[in-house]
Amino acid sequence: MKPMNLMKFVDQLPLMNTAKPERKSKKESYYEIGMEEFYQKLHRDLQPTRLWGYNRQFPGPIIDVNQGECTQVKWTNNLPNTHFLPVDRSIHHVAHQPEVRTVVHLHGSETRPSSDGYPEAWFTRGFKEVGPSFERKIYEYPNHQRGSTLWYHDHAMGITRLNVYAGLAGMYIIRDGKENSLNIPKGDYEIPLMIMDRSFNEDGSLFYPDKPNNPSKNLPNPSITPAFLGDTILVNGKVWPYLEVEPRKYRFRLLNASNTRAYQLYLDSGQSFHQIGSDGGLLQKSVHLKKFAIEPAERVDFILDFSKYKGKTITLKNDLGPNANPDDNTGEVMQFKVSLPLQGEDKTVIPKYLSHIPSLEQNNEVKTIRNLKLTGSTDKYGRPLLLLNNKAWSAPVTEKPGLGSTETWSFINITGFTHPIHIHLIQFQALDRRPFDLDLYNQDGQIVYTGPAIRPKANERGWKDTIAAPSAQITRVIARFGPYTGNYVWHCHILEHEDYDMMRPFTVINPKELDDK
Ligand code: C2O
Ligand code: CU
Ligand code: CU
C-alpha cells in the first residue's frame, strides 16, 4: 500500500454535533441512536468514504449530560448484513456467528453489567439475532460519577477493530457542578478532539489489511494482523485539519481513538499544554507539559493559551514515539491558526488547584493483590497470539473482586511492547511502575528488578481507566470495585490485541450473597 499524498491543513476541523435527546428532564434523558452506513468526505481531495457511524455521523454525536441525570439510549443497528472490512473467521468467537454484529460500550462509565456492552451481548440489524443468552435492551447510564470525558464505541466480540475502524466511535461528556464552577474556557472555547489514524485506497475507501505484513504460509484468509498503523491522521473525522482560533485560552478534550497507534504530542511553537484532566475527570492540580504521550483510549483534557500568538500558525506534532516510521507523514496532526479577532476579553484562568482526589492506597483497607501477566504466544498458524495471564477469553473467570473491595492489580508485561490496559466499571489510580530484567525472566521465570518503583507521571496522578503498561515493567494500579456486581471485562485497548485474545472477563461478586447460598 503506498500512502496517499493528501495535502495537509486544507480542511477545517469539524466540530462534533451534540446528540439531541428525544425527551429530557432534570433527572432523565432518553436518546435513540442508530448505526448506519453512509458516505462522508474526509479530505478536500478524497472522494466520499464509505463509513459506519452513529446517526450517520463520523465521529458519532457527543452525548452531553449532567452528573446524576439518568440517561437511556436505545442503540439500534441498521447496518448491512455483510462487512466491508475483512472479517477473520478463524478467531474462534467469530466462526459461527453473523458477520455484522454490534454492541455499544460506554468507555469509562460506571454502569450496570446489562448496559455495559459486554462483547457477547451483540445484536444484528433490527435485533434479528442477539448474542446467546442476552436480550435486547435499552441501555441505561446512571452518570453518578464525577465530571469526565468518556467515549462510546463498538465492542462486538472478535470484530471490534473493524467496527471501530469503520467509524463506530463517539464522545460522551459528563458535567458536574464543581467543574462548572471553575473559571475555565467553556462553550465555544471548549472543543473535543478525537484523533485517529486511517489508510485510504485511491478511490477514497478505507484500507484495512486482510493479512499481516509478513504472512506465513497457510494463513486463514482474511487474517487478523497483530497491529495496524494508518498512514494518515484524522481529527474529528477530517484528514490533517486546521482550526481557526482567537488569541485567548481554549480547553480541548482530546481522545486517542486509534486502533493501535500511540502518540507523543507537542506544539511547534514550543508552548505548554496545561493539562487539567485525565480519563476520569479533573486532576488534583494542573500540570504543565511541553509534550505528552497518549495511548489508544486515553483522554487528556488540557488548556492552550493562544493569547501571545496572534497571527501565528501553530502545528500540533507527533514525535511518533514507539510507532516511529521515518518515511511516513504521521509526525503532524493538525494546525491552529490564530486568525480570528478576539471576541471580548478572556477572563478565564488556568487554576492551579482543580479538585480533590482521595488516595485509595492510604485508605487502610485490606487489599487483594493480583499479579496479572501480559503474555505472548503463537497460534496454530504461526501468528502472534497475545493473552492475559496466558488465558484465552473463553477460559473460566479468574478475577472475582468483592463488591466494594479495594484491589491492587499488577500488570507484569513480559512481551516486547507497551499495552494500554483498560478495566471496565471502575476508575483506578496508578501506583507505580518498576522495571525488571526480561531476559532473565525468559530464562528462568524469576522477576529480578533492575531499578526502584517509579511513581506515575504527574499527569497520571488522577483517575484513570486505561494505562500504559510498558514492556519489562510491572505497572500497578489500585481500584475499588463497585457499585455494581456482575460480569465485566478488562483488556488491552490495542483493538487488534483485544480481538485476539487479549481480553478477559471479570466478575464483581457480593460476598454476602455467597454466604446466603
Ligand atoms: Cu474502550 Cu472495553 O473498551
Ligand atoms: Cu471500557
Ligand atoms: Cu496490547
pLDDT tens, position by position, 424-440: 999 999 999 999 999 99
491 pocket-lining for ligand 1 (C-beta < 6 Å): yes
Q: If you average pLDDT over residues 357-381, what whole number do you get?
A: 91
Is 504 near ligand 1, meaning CB less than 6 Å away?
A: no
Residue 104: pLDDT band (50, 70, 90) is very high
Distance of CA 383 to the CA centre of its chain: 25
Structural domain containing residue 141: 23-179
Q: Are residues 496 and 387 in the same domain?
A: yes
Kindly state whether residues 390 and 329 are assigned to the same domain.
no
CA distance 335 to 241: 7
Asked, for residue 343, whether it belongs to a domain, the answer is no
Residue that is last in its domain, among 179, 201, 232: 179
* pLDDT band at residue 74 under the 50/70/90 scheme: very high
What pLDDT, on the 0 to 100 scale, is given for residue 511? 81
Query: Does residue 157 share a domain with residue 102?
Result: yes
User: Among 147, 179, 211, which residue terminates a domain?
Assistant: 179
Chosen domain end from 322, 337, 352: 337
421 pLDDT exceeds 60? yes
For residue 168, CA distances in Å to 158, 162, 237, 330 come to 15, 9, 12, 22
Whether 106 and 223 share a structural domain: no
Please check whether residue 13 is in contact with residue 334, taking contact to mean a CB–CB distance below 8 angstroms: yes
Do both 160 and 223 map to the same domain?
no
Rounded Cα gap, residues 109 and 339, in angstroms: 38
Nearest CA owner, ligand 1 atom 3 = 107
Q: What is the pLDDT of residue 140?
A: 98
Q: How many structural domains are present in the chain?
A: 3
- The ligand minimizing its distance to the Cα of 109 is 2
- Ligand 1 site, residue 261, Cβ cutoff 6 A: no
Residue 367 has what pLDDT? 82
Are residues 139 and 228 located together in one domain of the fold? no
* Residue 266 · residue 317 · CB < 8 Å: yes
Question: Which residues lie near ion ligand 3 (Cβ < 5 Å)?
Answer: 419, 492, 494, 497
Residue 146 within a domain: yes
Same domain? For 175 and 191 the reply is no
* C-alpha 201 to ligand 2 mean position (Å): 31
Asked whether residue 384 falls in the same domain as residue 510, the answer is yes
**Ligand 1 binding pocket includes 161 (Cβ within 6 Å):** no
Q: What is the C-alpha to C-alpha distance for residues 69 and 111, in angstroms, rounded to an integer?
A: 13
pLDDT band at 517 (very low <50, low <70, confident <90, very high): very low
Q: Is any ligand 1 atom within 6 A of the Cβ of residue 422? A: yes
- Is residue 116 domain-shared with residue 240, that is, in the same domain? no
199, 321: one domain? yes
Predicted local distance difference test score (pLDDT) of residue 323 = 64
Closest residue to atom 1 of ligand 1, CA basis: 107
Tell whether 47 and 158 lie within a shared domain: yes
Same domain assignment for residues 167 and 31: yes
| Domain annotation covers residue 17 | no
Name the band, by pLDDT with cuts 50, 70 and 90, for residue 216.
confident
Task: Answer yes or no: is pLDDT of 3 > 70.
Answer: no
What pLDDT shows up at residue 291?
97
**Residues ≥6 apart with Cβ < 8 Å to 517:** none
> Residue 323's domain is classified under what CATH number?
2.60.40.420
Q: Is the pLDDT of residue 516 over 70?
A: no
Q: Ligand 1 pocket, 299 CB below 6 A?
A: no
Contact in structure between 421 and 469 (CB atoms under 8 Å): yes
What's residue 95's pLDDT?
84
106 CA distance to ligand 2 middle (Å): 6
What's the pLDDT at 215? Answer: 72
Do the beta carbons of residue 482 and residue 406 sit within 8 Å? no
Q: Is residue 449 part of a domain?
A: yes
Residue 322's pLDDT is: 61
